[in-house]
Structure 1
């Protein structure tokens, strides 16, 4: 190890440190001061070495060198501390047999690799029993190393104890596999190595391999099975350093090798595989060193807030419409995929070399069964000859098809051969009718296509067979909304579509589960889900580009013209339903009419509904919730009604009359006719068509009680468990500033507004409904939090809350991860989306009180808000407001539109627009809406 380190004395000069220690002893300081002075010498040596190693890393950026240099530094310090303790603190004269000790590095440190902030694991090896002298040395060393700020794990054992515990505990067995002599008695260390090989490793290879692979699988399950999680753990996650170390442990345990290169010398591993191993390890070590240096701690999670800085330090720049950080993370994910390939290769090697062979052979009984031209070993498909894929490349497609159809695993040997023959998947094979038939059958299989497609993707086959898909393999989006890379998201969406079709998600996704069985264009739907994000990461609208790709790919795959056109339409419009449901007022008849004009048919509506559900649900954990499900369901039914000639086309007056008659029938038993008619007169037509019958009844009761008691403010809350939201209804005197005050109070209470309906009654009272959630996307249902929210609203409306000051405090104390992202502020003003309102869409980076800032700005612009639709996508907020001007009309004057745009962009950029002298006045809906 040390021979590879250049200019070792610049890291630590052993003789110089010894000279300093000898000079200290010669000066004969008081014993009470000697330890502190000794510690200062060691601290200076350590800090000088640490800084030198870091300087070299920042100059050359090679993590594989840095971990060796850090190891060298600690080796020398451990030896120096040991010698000082033995020579000056606890001299023993001639050591007896019982006083012999060996200092041994174990674990990763034993392997000769040490990241800047990693733990140091030491074994103090004794011949047979502990002596007071050895305990004194060990104790002195440990306290000195701890005082240096090092994290030291340690054990003190005899050889017999090591062997006994290694047999009983897999963790100890693995740690002792990587022992390295540091200092002390070498014969004792050699005895440990010999005993480990003969008493522990011999005859237990198969058990060790199975245990380590099982351990790996449990680790993956704990951290998230997907290799392409966008904030990966580079040590413990799938495809990370620990996976590479697992391969190394297995090879070392079985073959007693000291490095991967020895496997090549023995003909057990190809030179190409060994090179990939080295490149993967070097890249991962470099990233880990950057993480440790940047965070100043043992940090292994590659979080969003640090990805950008590491990508910059590693030289990744923005290029071709792709951010440098996205290019860096794509490289990381491809490395993780390489680690998966190496795992398969080595597993195949180990199985072929170490599988138990039966003592007796009966040729007729053990003749390998064949399926579709493949050999069946146990429940795994394998090739019959190593040249199968070279001679018939189509067999690489058929392998996955057969495995899916017969519910079989694929043998690691066959997967390794696939990897070696990927270049044979060329244009000829891509346009082979049989190959495309097999692929489409997998894509649309009644069995789970996710399994086959993931295996194809991990083997590299999917990206070669569909090159456009290959472009999005490991493609990340640098935001907090998307959890997986594009290819992983797509494959998960296909798996969700399959489960919807199987009916296993009927309770969670009822509408999609209900309509999926009535579809005529099933193959088009599966192709659309496969291709909906195929053009992500290119310059241009990925929906439009993806639709064009679909038109070209459909005929190649054997789809009919009708299926291809339907799939292309779905890809082009795969965001239409979420944009309409989450960002538009579905109570506005024009919203539904515009949506239906694009969708046109019930079949397309159903297809779009199922695709949308699969797409949103596959974004990541916690993204799908009952509130979003409710919005999509509402849009689906309203559109279907309009297509079917139902209530959506009734005259507005008829709908108002029907709503009033329904409420009249419910109130007649307890209200006088005069009370009923007075209440019905309070609502403008827009009120009666904006709420359902149950809401009308609740509002009637709330308003009656408020009017009877002459309460200046009435607040009602109800938790809607099915939608994971809380509905807050506020009845109070209408005045400018009301929306902003309520929004500010909710921000200070930790509530997120996801939807709002703003109504002014004919008596001048405001009846505002807010749908809120907590920060985690759950219903705001805690009684204490609701009480706090009510108190904040009361204080806000009475003028006792100073929002500028309180929100500034909240923002200053909040540790928001959104700060790392840049979201350019954008304001879109649309006078075509609604017949009676101007629609304003505001995009910006999320922050505490943003809605308050926006609505305060709208007040200054004399705008009146009829409804608000609030959506948050990770760090990005998309808020849509239906507004009118002070006269109750659309805003159509160009100068006014420009003024609105400029002021709202300023609101998005600045931290609050509240007037310190008097709170900002919020917009209101006009009385004649």
Structure 2
């Protein structure tokens, strides 16, 4: 044991020097394999020297590497997994020594001690242990012990329940893919476990070893399990993913397998990508990542399918899949149209094409660009997109084989294009296909008495022409993002050209251009304007001037918003869109929507009175009509009972379905009260998602806040107590808020905040409302934001008539309808500049 500490210090210095060298080499793609192999070899040699120094008897033990270390694919901060096979000796002290040594070098490790019989027993009980044995490699010690283990592995461990093992690995891969969204096109990909990641290759390798005894992809090619083309794609993808994982580890100086948004540029530059005239270095990195991940995923699917199903020399139609004849020729137009026809039938009957058929389809479509204006292809394409069936699966496979990219090159331009924003979860092409899938889900939507149920009814009853144009709009609505700004205007110009190429008549062309040009209209209105303002509806109907356009646009808005990320389509936004839709519909039908709301509120008021009894009538009559239209009757009963039956002013209601909490405040309507309440919530680490205020005719207000909490619980009594102290000048909100600034931000959150600060903006608009000046604020979303904004309004004696709180990723887009102290709009340029200047000051 003499000199062990000195050895550890030397090894640490060697490791640092090695990592400095490997970090430089990792920027060169062809050196990536050398990087992981060299790291593995250094660990081997270091461990062997350790065993010699601690005098581990070589003839009494065999040291075996397992896992990624066993595959000789050791990334900078990968775990080191070892198995010691002893020959009748105790190894407890040795195991502790290895742990301590490797931990001292900065490695996570596992060291297992198992005899040959134990290996058999554990492998039969635990699929994970059996998998680790598949990747085993001899390092040092008694080689005969290892040969005995290797023989046991081949004869007793791998053959045992091999079908169950393979099925378990496939199920494991499916679960991983489901966890990461079943697509390679995610905003922040996991290069080890996501779809098309290194783990896909590992599963393929484990199954190949169990079935055929091969050691790596090269051997798979040699015995015909991989074609030369597939091997080339697999090798290129592996080199790229190894390089990216190395870069992520080197950058973090620890294990990190996720390419977070704020790391993109640094990793891109580390991997040798540079800015071009059209794309940034990070854009080029992400495109290359998606290309390689997609190729790896396709090769793995194709190869596993070949393992698990017997192939016949000719293709046939199966019960659940379609196989395309392998003799099809890309040079023959008839064969190209036949493949598109196969996709039509796959959509019609709900079948998928086999992996081999997809490969053949991709080959057949290689010359598609020269046929993209053909009438027959346009007819088949329109027939497919007009079907009264769910076509999303067929369209996704058409994208996989590059049909969409080649048939509509403008769509191909946004393939694998990601946005430098946390708002969008997917790449542009994946987002578009997700939008289409959201429309298809309306075929089976069956939740009654919801606005989405109304959308489902509209969708199911569209004419084939309108169904076609809406699907095409969903697919193409974001193609203008290739230009980075005003993408809806750019997209409208592009789809006009596409419509001509697809031989659409003027009626369909006009609708397609309209939908792409205005696909953001509804979401922008509900996020920034008061849908109850008559001017909002008046301006909306100048653009959406027909009922059929309204139906198509609201369906596209639903599909688009749901495809952005998991938090964009909310119950609150759904209700705003429903209000906008109904107001527009009533106008088209020459009916008075406001009169309908008045009648509806009166009916709700009378119903609630009957449910609660006379002692509640006086309180019920103080509530304005709009609260009865915004909040359902059962919830209003709960609010009114709590307000009447208790002396409390603050109530909290948890929504288990949405994991949010609704905080209701019933208080005296005094100037600046909303600012005080928002500050109290921020001081208690409560983040406001949405809020709405109602003025009662008894000089009271009801403010309803939808909030997010760190721990999922809220103490209404504590909020009420702090609010009382604030209003009595017993609690300093400003001091509390200063102590909260950035307190809970992680490194990643701070980086995202810094990115968001560059986008801070304040816009003032006096044209969107006849009564109010509208101030719209773009700023990083954080606890306390509303407090700082409304504090500025209070300083300038501004009254807030209405407000809309919205978020887009890590950015808040908050809109306030304000008037001056004399209840007039603000026109003074000097005063407006002062307000904006003060807002910029608090937002930064």
Please indicate, yes or no, whether the TM-score normalized by the shorter chain is above 0.5.
yes
| Pairing 1:27-38 to 2, within 5 Å after superposition | 37-38=3-4
1:72 aligns with 2:41: yes
The alpha carbon displacement at 1:356 in A equals 9.1
> Offset at 1:238?
0.9
Change beyond 3 A, Cα 1:658–1:887: farther
CA distance in 2, matches of 1:153, 1:498: 48
Q: 1:255 to 1:698 in 2, by over 3 A?
A: closer
Q: Which residue of 1 aligns with 2:564?
A: 619
> In structure 1, what is the equivalent of residue 546 of structure 2?
601
Q: Deviations over 1:173-197 (max 9, x none)?
A: 3322222221122233234334433
For residue 76 of structure 2, the aligned residue among 103, 109, 116 is 116
Q: Aligned-pair distance for 1:390?
A: 4.9
Alignment of 1:202-241 (within 5 A): 209-241=166-198
Q: After superposition, what is the alpha-carbon deviation per residue over 1:407-461, rounded to whole angstroms, capped at 9, x for unaligned?
A: 3332222222334444222231x22222233333333433321111122222322
SS in 2 for 1:886: coil
Contact 1:264–1:274, Cα closer than 8 Å, also in 2: yes
Q: CA deviation at 1:868?
A: 1.0
SS at match of 2:196: coil
- Identify if the C-alpha distance between structure 1 residues 597 and 805 changes in structure 2 by more than 3 Å, giving closer, same or farther: same
What's the offset of the Cα at 1:881? 1.0
Tell me which moved more, 582-591 or 70-79.
582-591
CA distance in 2, matches of 1:146, 1:693: 59
CA contact (8 A) 1:446 1:498 kept: no
The CA deviation string for residues 469-495 of structure 1, in whole angstroms up to 9 with x for no partner, is: 212222222222222222222222212
Instruction: Give ranges in structure 1 of 5+ residues lacking alignment.
Output: 1-33, 358-366, 369-373, 910-929
Q: Does 1:277 align with 2:234?
A: yes
When residues 862 and 450 of structure 1 are mapped into structure 2, their CA distance, relative to the original with a 3 A threshold, is same
- After TM superposition, the structure 1 = structure 2 runs for residues 39-438 of structure 1, keeping only pairs within 5 Å, are 39-58=5-24, 60-62=26-28, 63-86=32-55, 100-126=60-86, 129-132=87-90, 137=94, 140-163=97-120, 165-166=122-123, 169-201=126-158, 209-266=166-223, 268-317=225-274, 319=276, 323-347=280-304, 350=307, 355=310, 375-377=316-318, 379-391=320-332, 392-428=335-371, 430-438=372-380
Q: Can you list the C-alpha shifts for 1:89-121, whole angstroms capped at 9, x where unaligned?
A: x6x7xx8xxx53221212211111112222111
**Aligned partners of 1:476 and 1:886: how far apart in 2?**
46
Partner residue, 1:904: 839
| Cα separation, 2, equivalents of 1:183 and 1:399 | 57
* Contact 1:321/1:539, CA 8 A, preserved across alignment: no
1:538 to 483, 487, 498: 483
Counterpart in the other structure of 2:762: 827
Are 2:480 and 2:491, in contact at CA under 8 Å, matched by a contact in 1? yes
Unaligned 5+ segments in structure 2 are none
User: 1:63-87: CA deviations, max 9, x gaps?
Assistant: 433322221121011101111222x
Q: CA deviation at 1:617?
A: 1.8
Cα separation, 2, equivalents of 1:436 and 1:464: 13
1:561 to 506, 509, 513: 506
Structure-1 residue corresponding to 2:811: 876
C-alpha spacing 1:245/1:672, structure 2 compared with 1 (3 Å):
closer
CA distance 1:850–1:731, change in 2 (3 Å): same
Match of 1:364 in 2: none
The 1:346/1:514 distance shift into structure 2, 3 A limit, reads: closer
Gap change, CA 1:108 and 1:390, over 3 Å in 2: farther
Counterpart among 731, 753, 777 of residue 667 in structure 2: 731
How far has the Cα of 1:522 moved from its partner? 2.2
Alignment match, 1:892: 827
CA distance in 2, matches of 1:545, 1:281: 37
Alignment check: 8 A CA contact 1:759 1:866 kept: no
Q: Is the 8 A contact 1:742 1:796 kept in 2?
A: no
- Indicate how the Cα distance of structure 1 residues 538 and 159 shifts in structure 2: closer, same or farther if over 3 A, else same: same
Q: Paired residue for 1:788, among 718, 738, 752?
A: 718
Equivalences for residues 807-818 of structure 1 within 5 A: 807-815=737-745, 817-818=748-749
- Are the equivalent residues in 1 in contact too, given 2:608–2:633 (CA < 8 A)? no
**Quick one: distance in 2 between partners of 1:445 and 1:503?**
18
**CA–CA distance in structure 1, aligned partners of residues 363 and 616 of structure 2:** 85
- Tell me the distance in 2 between the aligned counterparts of 1:288 and 1:351: 31
Corresponding residue for residue 914 of structure 1: none
Selected match of 2:421 from 479, 487, 504: 479
Cα offset, 1:255, TM superposition: 4.3
Map Cα deviations across residues 686-722 of structure 1 (whole Å, 9 max, x no partner): x66787598999999999999999x9x9556667899
| 3-state SS in 2 of match to 1:535 | helix
Is contact 2:689-2:708 (8 Å) kept? Answer: no
Hey, what does 1:772 align to over in structure 2? 706
Residues 475, 487 of structure 1: 8 Å contact kept: yes
Counterpart of 1:574 in structure 2 is: 519
Aligned residues: 828
8 Å contact kept, 1:818–1:875: no
Change (3 A) 1:270 1:842: same
Shift of residue 235, structure 1, vs aligned partner: 0.8
1:729-748, CA deviations, whole angstroms, 9 ceiling, x for partnerless residues?
4431523x333222211222
Q: What secondary structure sits across from 2:317 in the alignment?
A: strand
Once structures 1 and 2 are overlaid, which stretch shifts more, 321-330 or 490-499? Answer: 321-330
Distance in 2 between residues matched to 1:672 and 1:398, nearest whole Å: 67
Q: Structure 2 vs 1, CA of residues 193 and 877 (structure 1 numbering), >3 Å: closer, same or farther? A: same
Note the alpha carbon deviations across 1:328-358, whole angstroms, 9 max, x for none.
Answer: 2332222211112221443355468xx499x
Alpha-carbon shift at residue 149 of structure 1 (Å): 4.2
Measured in 1, the distance between the counterparts of 2:765 and 2:481 equals 27
> Is residue 852 of structure 1 aligned with residue 782 of structure 2?
no
Deviation of the 1:759 alpha carbon: 6.6
For the residues of structure 2 that align with 1:283 and 1:528, how far apart are their CA atoms? 35
Cα drift, residue 204 of structure 1: 7.6
Once the 2 structures are TM-superposed, how far is the Cα of residue 633 of structure 1 from its aligned partner? 1.3
Instruction: Mark the CA change 1:322 to 1:901 in structure 2 (over 3 Å): closer, same or farther.
Output: farther
Q: In the aligned structure 1, how far is the partner of 2:112 from the partner of 2:17?
A: 29
Give the SS at the match of 1:81: helix
CA contact (8 A) 2:476 2:495 kept: yes
**Partner Cα distance (2:150, 2:115) in 1:** 13
TM-score, normalised by the number of residues in structure 2? 0.87
- Please tell me whether residue 500 in structure 1 is matched to residue 500 in structure 2: no
Residues 1:636 and 2:566 are matched in the alignment: no
The answer to whether the 8 A contact 1:703-1:731 is kept is no
| Residues 218-262 of structure 1 deviation map (CA, whole Å, 9 limit, x = unaligned) | 322244323222222211111111112223334444444444234
When residues 207 and 328 of structure 1 are mapped into structure 2, their CA distance, relative to the original with a 3 A threshold, is same
1:638 Cα deviation from its structure 2 partner: 2.0
- Could you tell me how far apart the structure 1 residues matched to 2:77 and 2:702 are? 54
CA contact (8 A) 2:347 2:394 kept: yes
Measured after TM superposition, the shift of residue 762 of structure 1 is: 8.3
Relative to the length of structure 1, the TM-score reads 0.80
Task: Write the distance in 2 (CA, Å) between the matches of 1:286 and 1:663.
Answer: 66
